[in-house]
Amino acid sequence: MASSVVKETLGTLNKDSYVNLLSKLIGESRYVQNNPPELIPQEDRVVKHVLDALLPLSTKTGGGPLVINHITYFTGRGNLIVEYPGTEPGKILSFVGMHMDVVTANPNEWEFDPFSLSIDGEKLCGRGTTDCLGHVALVTELMRKLGETKLKLKSTVIAVFIASEENSAITGVGVDALVKDGLLNKLKGGPLYWIDTADKQPCIGTGGMIPWKLHVTGKLFHSGLPHKAINPLELAMEALKVIQTRFYKDFPPHPKEQVYGFETPSTMKPTQWSYPGGGINQIPGECTVSGDVRLTPFYNVTDVMKRLQEYVDDINENIEKLDTRGPVSKYVLPDENIRGRHVLSLRYLTLGRDDFRILPLRWQRHKIKFGRLKCIFYLSIYKFISNLFSVLNKSLAAVISRLQMTMLYRSYTFGILVMLSYISPLFVFCYDT
C-alpha cells in the first residue's frame, strides 16, 4: 500500500484520546514504581487501561482484528502482546519494550505531583511520561487505530508491552521470560523497534548492563581493638580499586565509540553499598557492594564476566598484597586462621546476544542528533541496507524525530509502517537498561 494511503487512513494522533489514556496511566504510576523489595510494581493496573482501549477491537470480543495475549508470570505483573494480522504470512514488524513500570519518585522532591498527569502548555508532566508510559499510550493508540481502520497491510504489526524493565532484582517477570518461552521468536522475521527512549533523541546503540554484587567477609570486632578484626569495608574499598583499575586497563575507551557517537565508554562502578548494621564502635563482619558494568557493544560480555571473576579470584588468593589503611589494618589473621574473602556474583540477562551486531553506518552523516544511544542493530543483509540508507537517510531522520515529537502532541507518522516494506531483511534488536 502506498505510504500516502497509509498516512491518510491512519490520520494523525488523536490528542484527546492520547492525553486521556496517558492521564489514566500516569494515575497508576504510584503503583508501578519498581524498587524491590519495598516497591514491587503491579503492571496489571496499566494493562487494564490498555485492555479497556483495545479489547473492544479484539478477536476476544469479536469486535475486531486485534489478537491480544495477556501473559503473566507473577500475579498482577502481566505483559501484553497485541497483534494486528497482515496479509502476507511471515512478514512482520514489531514495537517492543514499552514498559509498564517506572522508577521511583519522591513527591517531596518534585515541583508538581509526579503521580498525576499535569499539562503545561505543550508539555506533559508526570512520572513515566517519557519513560515509558507515554510510549505505552502512544503504541496503544496506534494499535487502536489499526483495529478501527482495518488498514490492509502486508506485514503483521505486533506490539509487546512489558513488565519489570526498570529493575532486574526480580527476574522472570518481563521480556526475559517472554524470550525464554519463545514468545518473541517470530519477531525475528522483520524489523523490531525498541520503544523506550527516555531522552529527547533517537537511539541506535546501547551499552549493555551487567549487574554485579561483591560480598565481602571480614571479621567482626570492637573498633577499639581493630587489630583483632578484619575490616570488610576497608577490604571492599581496596579490592574495588584493584578491580576497577584492572577493568579500565582491559576495557579502555574503544575508538569505535567516537565513530558511533557514544557519550561514554564502557564503565564498571559501584552504585550501592550495604552492611548488616551495628554500632559505630563495631567493625562489621561483612558488607556488600553492588553496581553495574555498562559495556559498549565493541566488547564481548562473556569476556568481561570472565575477567571480573579472575580479578576477584586473584584478589582472594593474594589478599595479603592488597593495600591496607594504617598500622593495624589487615585482611588475614594467621593466629586464628581467618582470611577476608570476596564473593562476586554477576547477573546478565541474555536476549540472543549472538544475534546482536552494530549497524555499520556512519549515522552522524545523517545529521540526526544522537545522545545517549540505546538500541543495537542486527543486519541480516548489510549491503542491502547500506544502499538503502543512503537513499532513506532523510526520511529516516524525519520519521524518528516525528515519532519523538508525538510526546508533545505532534502528529505521529506511520512512515515506519511504510518503511517496513523496504527494510524487511533488517532485523533490529536491542536490549535496554
Show which residues are catalytic.
Answer: 101, 165
Measured distance CA(426)–CA(377) in Å, rounded: 8
- Asked if 71 and 183 count as a contact pair (C-beta separation under 8 A), the reply is yes
Question: Which residue from 96, 102, 132, 304 is in contact with Zn ion, where contact means CB under 5 A?
Answer: 132
CB of 153 to Zn ion, least distance (A): 27
Stretch that binds Zn ion, among 34-42, 65-73, 190-198, 398-406 (CB under 5 A): 190-198
Query: In the stretch 235-264, what mask flags binding to Zn ion with x, by CB under 5 A?
Result: ------------------------------
Q: What do you get for the CA distance between the two ends of the chain, in Å?
A: 36
Could you say whether residue 163 binds Zn ion (CB under 5 A)?
Answer: no
Could you say whether residue 43 binds Zn ion (CB under 5 A)?
Answer: no
Stretch that binds Zn ion, among 195-203, 248-256, 326-334, 400-408 (CB under 5 A): 195-203
Q: What secondary structure does DSSP assign to 64-110, as a single string? A: SSBEEEEEESSTT-EEEEEEE--SSTT-EEEEEEEES-B----GGG-
Measured distance CA(410)–CA(413) in Å, rounded: 9
By beta-carbon proximity to Zn ion, the closer residue of 133 and 392 is 133
Helices (H), 175-231: 175-180
CB of 165 to Zn ion, least distance (A): 6
Could you say whether residue 93 binds Zn ion (CB under 5 A)?
Answer: no
Stretch that binds Zn ion, among 7-15, 24-32, 129-137, 213-221 (CB under 5 A): 129-137
Residues 6+ apart with CB under 8 A from 339: 230, 319, 331, 332, 333
Measured distance CA(380)–CA(391) in Å, rounded: 19
CB of 111 to Zn ion, least distance (A): 22
Total binding residues toward Zn ion, as defined by CB under 5 A = 3
Q: Any idea which residue has 552522524 for its cell? A: 364
- Asked if 232 and 215 count as a contact pair (C-beta separation under 8 A), the reply is no
Stretch that binds Zn ion, among 124-132, 212-220, 238-246, 283-291 (CB under 5 A): 124-132
By beta-carbon proximity to Zn ion, the closer residue of 43 and 131 is 131
CB of 102 to Zn ion, least distance (A): 8
Q: Is the dihedral angle over the CA atoms 207, 211, 217, 221 positive or is it negative?
A: positive
Q: Any idea which residue has 523489595 for its cell? A: 37
- Residue type for 206, please? T
CB of 431 to Zn ion, least distance (A): 12
Question: Which residue from 43, 101, 131, 286 is in contact with Zn ion, where contact means CB under 5 A?
Answer: 131
User: Could you give the C-alpha distances from 348 to 139, 174, 175, 211, 299, in angstroms and in order?
Assistant: 28, 14, 13, 7, 15
CB of 98 to Zn ion, least distance (A): 9
Question: Which residue from 196, 234, 257, 292 is in contact with Zn ion, where contact means CB under 5 A?
Answer: 196
Question: Which residues of this chain interact with Zn ion, rule CB under 5 A?
Answer: 131-132, 196
